[in-house]
Structure 1
């Protein structure tokens, strides 16, 4: 019996997605060296127990019929799972209380679906709207993370012949770069090619030191809840999500605004955008002046470690740089002040600080608290859209939803645009003020 999901709608779209029953896929062959019974997850993986839900849209074209797209994606996924075999397992806990992957053959659910609309009616998928896009992602019911698949795939065919690939992947298994490398490997096999970059799966190179040595303070793990003058109501207020596009001209204006008098060179686009969002969001939420506000932003540690992580490292190579500033100071001082704090935090991510963070978790099992916090991450240079399964690159990609309420995301502009898109969620009253601050 096919499953019918109704009501994935916004003001311009109301459509049905009809799903066929899920098929559970497994690696199509022996995994290397038989594979371990338990797959190790590093301390950098332990902090990211969220599911990333992303969508990749492939319009119909004269280049190649999409009639067999689901079959091609299914058979090639089974083949690529031989190399990325941890997706075949499920979470477990080791004797030390940390997450591992139990290689129990739980498998990867794969669903074929049909949408009762044309693909162009989807609109811009860079705006994360679960009510509109959730029908393109398959998430089977699970009572706990130990029953939740580490990867699910849905291929949805539209009336026009185009199809959307919807993917739900555990962030503990892969950060953005590893996710893209997995997609590119899958796409190579779908096109009949050998892997150009086989994954490096041994995460034990990120084990804590013996004995653990915490060399630095780690404010990224600090809980601000006790320092806030009011309860952190942000966690319960309904949010609306909006996207803001910054083209080349607007980014140039922003970098000029973010440059202190006489300072040279201007900040990077990332530092300027991050400072803008942190400052404007704090102001829009009317955070009391004396309250601290925290910013966490993802930094790729692969080449900051000594030695660097191996090429093709599969896992989480990111760490969170942390900035904490009184809200009043942040919003009253110029944007360049916020940018300098961000630049300083980024410079502090070194081999020693990353090793110290790994050891800090080993000793404390602490996870970053998100009270009074903005989490910002950038997908602008990852190349999600370049994935070609045989039907060309994706016309557009985006997140079906943000992993937590505190996240803001930087994305490349869809449909060939050269700008940067920023998406976030805020209460309606705060969003109106935030929008005004995006006009410059």
Structure 2
């Protein structure tokens, strides 16, 4: 048994954090959109950041304890702005006429979010240096295996702060019905902004003592739900069910290896140049991320050793906000995402270059217009449905989730720049690839790849793929 598997995360304390103030908007039901309702069977979002531990000083001999208290007070202030995270899901139904709806209730003083303080006898390098992401990282996140429908009884937000011997991991467990990845990182950045200001004020304030503290944030969320014009008069959506057992389905992960692969800005530029050179349509510009996605799709398909006639997709999670007409603010706090995909066979994908594959993805993204988004909402409203994870994942395909555009490493809680971003158990399956900003500056990308052991071994033996990946010791960039 190695050192990492011999260790366990120990819970030190747990408490409920309520908003510093109860705002008037939170006293009303928050109706859910088709984008929100579709998420019930997915897991909570589980992502977090690793920081170096603050050093003791004469002024503060117990800086970690001070920081934990500041985090709690900062979360209370942040929840005033992001009040939906303090509520619970509620189902309302009747038999005659049939009526079944689910909404978000933030009234009754708000139930609140959960805050967990935990510790583990490990160092940061025990997490960062192994080839695979150590399984113990999953213990840095609460509610393992919970699906979003569990938000009827579980908190919609849990913040777990895990002390390492030389580091602090801040993990947020965030109900996906409340918001998507864009919303998640808006919350995380605002949480960090409040904590940073609190630390600068040298305040270890008692609960409620914010008379002289600036509780504002630079980018307040828009919490009012978006309902497209045709449905503004009937936002409370009647679902075609009489009991949650008719649509709730839990997905059990198969055994997977999870590994981080880093692509420098130089490597990304080479992939983009190669994709554009190989692209058969010369009047378009293949983007860096389209090039990377095509390269990863092709590499994983080659590692899987499929028959040449096996159908395969590369699916991309896509943000609708700026694709709507008129555009929706990036500060919209809710779900507004779709997926688009390129489809071919294993043989065609491997026979052609990454420019050919990237063109499939480019076209799928280009065709995702305001008209197409509205049409998909119309179709859903005519026949509401809740997707089941097992029905939509495909072991022949690759799903590119998260985004290197998310502002992760500017989440400064007053501890300096994060050393790394990691995720928990949630929403992982064969072929799931999550994208993060890279650690070596603008243009670099970190990929979290989940594959069965045999496929991962084949990918690691793929010279073309590994030649594009930077050395594994990049974490020293932020640990020097």
Aligned match of 1:299: 318
| 1:284 and 2:303 correspond | yes
The residue aligned with 1:419 is: 444
- Verify the 8 A CA contact 1:292 1:326 in the aligned structure 2: yes
Q: What does the per-residue CA deviation read over 1:91-142, in whole Å, with 9 as the maximum and x for residues that have no partner?
A: 234556554223364421111122223334322699654x221222222797
Instruction: Classify the secondary structure of the residue corresponding to 1:439.
Output: helix
Is 1:380 aligned to residue 410 of structure 2?
A: no
- Residues 201 and 314 of structure 1 are in contact (CA less than 8 Å); yes or no, is this contact kept in structure 2? yes
TM-score normalised per structure 2? 0.76
TM-aligned CA distance change 1:10 to 1:172, over 3 Å? farther
Mapping for residues 28-107 of structure 1, pairs under 5 Å: 28-36=20-28, 38-48=29-39, 49-61=42-54, 65-93=63-91, 97=100, 99-103=102-106, 105-107=110-112
Give the distance between the partners of 1:41 and 1:125, measured in 2 at CA.
42
Match of residue 139, structure 2, among 135, 150, 154: 135
Asked if structure 2 preserves the Cα contact closer than 8 Å seen for 1:27 and 1:82, the reply is yes
User: What is the aligned partner in structure 2 of residue 404 from structure 1?
Assistant: 428
Look up the SS of the partner of 1:343 in the other structure.
helix
1:329–1:412 CA distance, 2 compared to 1 (3 A):
same
Change (3 A) 1:94 1:332: farther
Structure 1 residue ranges, 4+ long, deviating more than 6 angstroms after superposition: 140-144
Partners in 2 of 1:158 and 1:416 — Cα distance?
A: 26
Q: Give the Å deviation of 1:281.
A: 2.1
Note closer, same or farther for the CA distance 1:134–1:127 as it changes in structure 2 (3 Å cut). same
Q: 2:158 aligns with which of 143, 149, 152?
A: 152
Within the alignment, does 1:370 sit opposite 2:363 as a pair? no
In 2, the alpha carbon distance for the partners of 1:33 and 1:425 equals 40
**Secondary structure of the residue that 2:103 maps to in structure 1?**
strand
Structure 1: runs of 5 or more not aligned: 1-8, 213-233
Q: How does 1:206-285 map to 2 (within 5 A)?
A: 206=228, 209=231, 237-258=254-275, 259-260=277-278, 263=282, 267-285=286-304
**Matched residue SS, 1:322:** strand
TM-superposed CA distance for 1:42, in Å, is 1.5
Aligned match of 2:116: 111
Cα gap change, 1:156/1:417 in structure 2, threshold over 3 Å: closer, same or farther? farther
Question: SS at the partner of 1:238?
Answer: coil
2:472 alignment partner in structure 1: none
CA contact (8 A) 1:256 1:266 kept: no
Give the equivalent residue in structure 1 for 2:202: none
The 2-side partners of 1:142 and 1:294 are apart by 27
Q: Tell me the matched-pair count.
A: 408
TM-score by length of 1: 0.82
Q: After the TM superposition, which of the residue ranges 277-286 and 421-430 deviates more from structure 2?
A: 277-286
299 and 126 in structure 1: CA distance in 2 versus 1, 3 angstrom threshold: farther
Question: What RMSD, in angstroms, separates the aligned Cα atoms of the two structures?
Answer: 3.1
Distance in 2, matches of 1:79 and 1:335, equals 47
| Mapped pair 1:339 → 2:358 | yes
Answer 1 or 2: which has greater helix percent. 2
